Amino acid sequence: MESKFVSDFFAGNRQRLRELFTGTAPIILTANGQLQRSADTTYKFTQDASFWYFTGIDDPGVVLVMEKDREYLIVPALSEVRQLFDGKIEADRISKISGINTVYEQEEGWQQIENRLNKVKHIATLAVPPAYIEQLDFYTNPARANLVNKIKSIKSEIEILDISQHIGRLRMVKQPLEIEAIQKAIDVTTKTLKASLKPAKLAKYRYEFEIEAELNKGFRLGGGSGHAFDPIVAGGANACTIHHINNNSQISAGEFIIIYVGADFDHYAADITRTVIIGEPNNKKKAVYDAVLEAQEYAYDLLKPGVLMRDYEQKVENFMGEKLRELNLIKTINHDDVRKYFPHATSHFLGITAHDAGDYNHPLEPGVVLAVEPGIYIPEEGIGVRIEDNVVIGQKSLKILTKKMPKGI
């Protein structure tokens, strides 16, 4: 499939970054590197989203340098063996997609950087993201840290300016072409979900992975490039594990199944969650589902230009507290008690990634795309419900991008 994102899009993004970042420091950004899976094999490569946003390049190890009067790319030095197994990074190809005419081989490119470092006190780049080691045992792709370390090895006293907020501000408000790609991803996801979750078909599933397999097939045949993130199919008590990705358990009639998926289309993601059930829910399950649905409708009414995300999240938390009290899950509405059953945020930015870049301290503007995903999880009863839709902030009203995907049990 030929991408609609061409060099003008990426060149425009670079120009907007130059206008937003008024400092004189050179901007240096790096692609992600490949990560070893075992021996001489790697994990499937995923590009740094911001690097793609400014270049359109999907190759690992490339470096972008932007100055006021020039810009260039540096390609990594690849051995003949590496080129044989992984392919070459052709200068003409990456120049065409990015709109950057100057492409250096690694040694000459880094000599250009060294020459510039000798004349400046600062460089601007994306800070190394938090690893979330204590909370989630995550480790980040080391590419950004490697870039900073290499720059410091050339000039140890250089000051590193973090432009994460500038880039977050740019990526937060989507351009029409981006919203079109997100809508395409949503359409692929919706078509696949509707076909996979027809009542007669749903009743035949015995294991979570059977639903996952249907989604895999539908996304690829429907025009998507696959999943934008690891799919979650969580039946019964598994629905209380927020990121249950094993999808290996047996599913049973009368239990909720949370299905959290999104197709990737032309580098942009959908992010949809539906909670379904085989058979009829009992009164308690229906009450929990209805509470989540009401919380989502309440959230929709709050989303408009000028709203701060922290204020929005607090209001939804308070509303959810009322619902949890009505369900006799809590007696008083306070943060700790509410978060026992509603442990995650209601919304996040959506775009190139499912949890996209943005500035959570900046008021919402027209063109901001969000996921809205309230949930209630009751581990002691094995009940979990989450409903997630994708919306875009308009000048006067909220547009629900996922309105064609049915809800209800």
How far is 101 from 30, CA to CA, in rounded Å?
Answer: 18
- Model confidence band, residue 135 (pLDDT cutoffs 50, 70, 90): low
How far is 298 from 301, CA to CA, in rounded Å?
Answer: 5
In this structure, the strands spanning 41-42 and 256-261 are unpaired
In this structure, the strands spanning 272-277 and 369-372 are unpaired
Q: Tell me: pLDDT of 134 over 70.
A: no
How far is 280 from 259, CA to CA, in rounded Å?
Answer: 18
- Model confidence band, residue 132 (pLDDT cutoffs 50, 70, 90): low
Cβ(43)–Cβ(75) below 8 Å: no
How far is 370 from 393, CA to CA, in rounded Å?
Answer: 8
Contacts from 296-300 at CB under 8 Å and sequence distance 24+? 296/372, 296/373, 296/374, 296/387, 296/389, 299/346, 299/347, 299/372, 299/374, 300/372, 300/391, 300/398, 300/400
Q: Tell me: pLDDT of 205 over 70.
A: yes
**Structural domains in the chain?**
7-170 (3.40.350.10), 173-400 (3.90.230.10)
Q: Tell me: pLDDT of 289 over 70.
A: yes
**What integer pLDDT is reported at residue 329 of this predicted model?**
98
| CA-closest candidate to residue 140, choices 240, 277, 35 | 35
Q: Tell me: pLDDT of 10 over 80.
A: yes
How far is 63 from 385, CA to CA, in rounded Å?
Answer: 43
Angle 356-320-351 (CA atoms, 0-180°, nearest 5)?
10
What are the pLDDT digits (tens) for 96-112? 999 999 999 999 999 99
Of the chain, the percentage scoring pLDDT greater than 70 comes to 98
What are the pLDDT digits (tens) for 152-193? 999 999 999 999 999 999 999 999 999 999 999 999 999 999
What are the pLDDT digits (tens) for 209-267? 999 999 999 999 999 999 999 999 999 999 999 999 999 999 999 999 999 999 999 99
Q: Tell me: pLDDT of 306 over 60.
A: yes
Q: Where are the beta strands (DSSP E) in 328-407?
A: 347-349, 369-372, 375-378, 383-386, 389-393, 398-400
**What integer pLDDT is reported at residue 395 of this predicted model?**
95
Q: What is the mean pLDDT of residues 124-129?
A: 88
Query: How many helices and strands, by DSSP H and E, does the chain display?
Result: 14, 20
Helix (H) or strand (E) holding 236: none
What are the pLDDT digits (tens) for 25-42? 999 999 999 999 998 889
Q: What is the mean pLDDT of residues 43-70?
A: 96
Q: Tell me: pLDDT of 133 over 70.
A: no
Q: Tell me: pLDDT of 139 over 80.
A: no
- Start-to-end C-alpha separation, the chain: 36
**DSSP symbol at 400:** E
| Encoded tokens for 178 | 């981006």
**What integer pLDDT is reported at residue 235 of this predicted model?**
97
The mean predicted confidence, pLDDT, of the chain is: 95
Q: Tell me: pLDDT of 66 over 60.
A: yes
Dihedral over Cα of 48, 49, 55, 57: its sign:
positive
Q: Tell me: pLDDT of 137 over 80.
A: no
Of the chain, the percentage scoring pLDDT greater than 90 comes to 91
> Strand pairing partners for 123?
160
How far is 385 from 257, CA to CA, in rounded Å?
Answer: 8
| CA-closest candidate to residue 300, choices 220, 211, 203, 407 | 407
**What integer pLDDT is reported at residue 321 of this predicted model?**
98
Q: What is the mean pLDDT of residues 350-359?
A: 97
Angle in degrees, 0-180, between the axes of helices 106-117 and 143-154, rounded to the nearest 10? 60
Q: How far is CA 124 from the centre of its chain?
A: 24
**What integer pLDDT is reported at residue 1 of this predicted model?**
75
